Structure 1
C-alpha cells in the first residue's frame, strides 16, 4: 500500500486465496487480477484452472444461427444474415452475431461452437470455392485464421475446454463414403496434423449435421451406424460408444453434454413419436466391442439408462411430428434437465423441462432461419493463445 501498511489480503496463503477465489463469479475474478501482481499470477496460473471459474458454463446465453436473405451475392450465392437469440425474454445480445471484427470476410458459415468459441468457414469472396477456417471469441472479438485454404467441404468441428487448457483444436474429417482419417489443428503448435482412422471397428460415416461434444479430451459425434464415435486431440485414440439399437425408422438421434454426462435423444415414430432421452452412466467402461456384436440387440444397451420420455403430442399438440422433417433438438441445458428444440413448422425456439413437463415458447426465429443453431456461452477470458 502507498503508506507502507500491509494489505491484510497479503497474509493469505496461496491455497486459501485459491479456495476463496473459487467461489466468486467469473467476471469478479477477472477484475481481481488488477489487485496485485501476486493475485494476477495466482489467477492466471495453469495449475489453478480447474479450481477457479473460467467461464459461465451454467449460463447458456442463447443461440447463434443464420438466415437466408432474399438477395443473392456474386455468382448467385445466397447471402446469409447472422443472428443471436437469448433463452430468456428480453435478453440483450452479449455479442455481435455478424462478427464484424473479422477482416476480409465477405461471407462466412457458422460451423460449430464450443465453450464460448466459434468455428467458422470463411470465404474470401462470394462464389469462391476456396475457404479457410477461423476460430473466434465473439465476447472479446479476438480471432485466429487457421493456415491453409480448402475447396472440399468436410465435416469440421471444434474442441475446447478452458478448465483444462487455453488451447483449442479443430477436427476436419477426411471422408470418402466413410471416414478415412482426420486432420487436427492445434493452437499450441499452430499447425495441422493428419491421422489415419484407427479402431472404429467398421467403416463409419459421420452424421454431417451431428452436434459435436467435446469432453474427456475427445471429440464425440454420431455416426450413421447408430453409434457414437470419438477421437482424441492427438488422433491416436479412436473410440466407439455403442448406443441402444434403434428400431426401423427410428432417427439416429442427437447427442449433447449436460451436467457432466453424455446424453442421447431419439424419436420413435412407431410409439406415437415418443421422444426418449438416455444418459450414459458408465462412460469409462473398458468392455470391448467388435463388428459382430453390432447385430446383437444387447449391443450397448447396458451402458445407457433411460432418463425421460415424452410423446410429441405433449410437446406440440399433434401426433405425427417427425424429428427429421419438422423439429429437431438443438441443445440440452448444461446444468438443468431442460431440452431446447426448434419446431420447423413455425420456426420457433422452444424449451421443454423434463422435471415439470413444462413446454415454453421462447422466440420466433423467422421463416428464413437455417441450421445450425449453435448454443452459446459467454467466455470473457483473453488468456488464449495466438489471438489477433
Structure 2
C-alpha cells in the first residue's frame, strides 16, 4: 500500500490532464520518443500512488513498472499492515511502518455494518483484500455454515467490491469445511483475480479439494487438487501467489515432523511438492522482487531452535524444485534490548526487509 506524497501525484495528473486530453496524438508521439531509461527516471520521481495509475497508460509502461529488475528504481509501496482483532467482534486496524496515517479507513464503512454485520480479513494480494463476511457475529469464521457467509473481494483505494457466489456443493455424504483461502492477483498480467478456497471434510483430515473462483468468468470451478500424497493444511496459515502459482505449506499425512511447500496452478491442480528446510514448522512464506521466500528461525546442531537467528530461504523461480538459503540475520541485539522473542510476520515486497512481531503480539520491528 502506498501513501507518501500522494497529493503531489494528484497535482501532477490534474495539471497535465487538460493538455493530454486536448492533444492526445501529440502526447502519444512524445511518449513514443522516450527511451525506457528516461521513462524509468521520470517514474522514479513520482509518488507510488501515481505510479500504479500509470500502469494504465500503455502495455509498455505497465511492463516497465512490473518488471522485477526495475522495482528497486521505483517508489516503494508498502505503507503498513492490516490486521484484525476479535474482542467480541472483528475489528480492523492498520499498523504503519512509515509512521503515517492509514491510506484508507480500515473498517471499510461502505461494507460494514451497512452491508455485513461482521467481517474477517482473510488475505491481501497486490492491493486487493479478501474478506469473509456474514450477517452474524463470527467468533470462529471458518466454523460458519456455508449459507451464513460470503467471500468479498475489495479494492480499498477505490471503494469498489464484489461479493462472490456460493461455492460448489459438497458431496451429500460428508460435511465439508474450509481450512483456508487465498487471493491471487497480479495487475501486471491481468485485471482479473482468483480466489483459492481449500477444503477438508469430517471424513478425511487432509485437503480434499480446491475451489477456484475467477473474476473473469464470475464462477467457481472445483478440483480435487491432483494430490498424489495426502497433505493437511494449517488453519489460519497463508498462501502466497508468485509467478502464476499459489504456494501453501502443508503436512504429509502420517509424517508429523515433515512439512512441504505445495505449488498449485490456476486450475487448482498441485504441480509440485517441495520439501521445507529440515521439516521445520516455525516459518513464514512471502514474496519479494518476484521470488518466493521462506523465513524461519535457525536451529543448532542438536536441532534446537535459535530464536536469535533468522534464515531466509528462496525459491528462485517456478521451475525450482528446492529452496536455497539466501541470507542469515541475527536479531540477538534486538532480543537483548527488549527481552522478548520474535517471529517473522511479513516480508517486504520490494526491499530486502523482513518484519518481526514479538511473541506477545504488540511490538512490530524490522
Give the structure-1-normalised TM-score: 0.69
**Contact kept? 2:246, 2:264, Cα under 8 Å:** yes
Q: How far is the alpha carbon of 1:265 from its aligned partner?
A: 1.6
Aligned mate of 2:94, from 84, 107, 126: 84
| Aligned-partner SS, 2:82 | strand
Structure 2 stretches of 5 or more lacking a match? Answer: 1-18, 139-143, 170-175, 252-257
Q: Is 1:253 the equivalent of 2:286?
A: no
Residue 344 of structure 1 corresponds to which residue in structure 2? 359
Distance in 1 between residues matched to 2:222 and 2:49, nearest whole Å? 38
State the alpha-carbon separation in 2 of the partners of residues 97 and 18 from structure 1.
37
CA-to-aligned-CA distance 1:250-291 (integer Å, 9 cap, x gap): 43411111222221122237154343323325434466xxxx
Q: Do structure 1's residue 58 and structure 2's residue 68 form an aligned pair?
A: no
CA contact (8 A) 2:308 2:335 kept: no
Residue in 1 that maps onto 2:324: 304
Q: Which residue of 2 aligns with 1:297?
A: none
Alignment of 1:190-339 (within 5 A): 190-198=218-226, 200-224=227-251, 225-236=258-269, 238-246=271-279, 250-267=280-297, 268=299, 270-280=304-314, 282-285=316-319, 300=322, 303-310=323-330, 313-317=332-336, 327-339=342-354
Cα-Cα RMSD: 3.4
* Residue 143 to residue 337, structure 1, CA distance change in 2 (3 Å): same
May I ask how many residue pairs the two structures share in their alignment? Answer: 309
Q: What is the alpha-carbon distance in structure 2 between the residues aligned to residue 179 and residue 65 of structure 1?
A: 26
Secondary structure of 2:231's counterpart equals coil
Question: CA 1:317 to 1:201, structure 2 compared with 1: closer, same or farther past 3 Å?
Answer: farther
Aligned partners of 2:362 and 2:320: how far apart in 1?
42
Report 1 or 2 for greater relative contact order, CA contacts < 8 Å, sequence distance ≥ 6. 1
Report Cα offsets for 1:147-176 as digits up to 9, x if no partner.
Answer: 117993431110101111100000001223
Deviation at 1:29, TM superposition (A): 5.6
Q: Greater share of helix residues, 1 or 2?
A: 2
Matched, 1:115 2:115: no
SS at match of 1:179: coil
Q: Which of 177, 180, 185 does residue 213 from structure 2 map onto?
A: 185
Given that 2:346 and 2:354 are in contact with CA atoms closer than 8 Å, whether structure 1 keeps it comes out as: yes
Matched, 1:140 2:150: no
**1:277-313 CA deviation, whole Å, 9 max, x = no partner?**
23325434466xxxxxxxxxxxx4xx412411425x4
Shift in alpha-carbon separation, 1:320–1:196, aligned structure 2, 3 A: farther
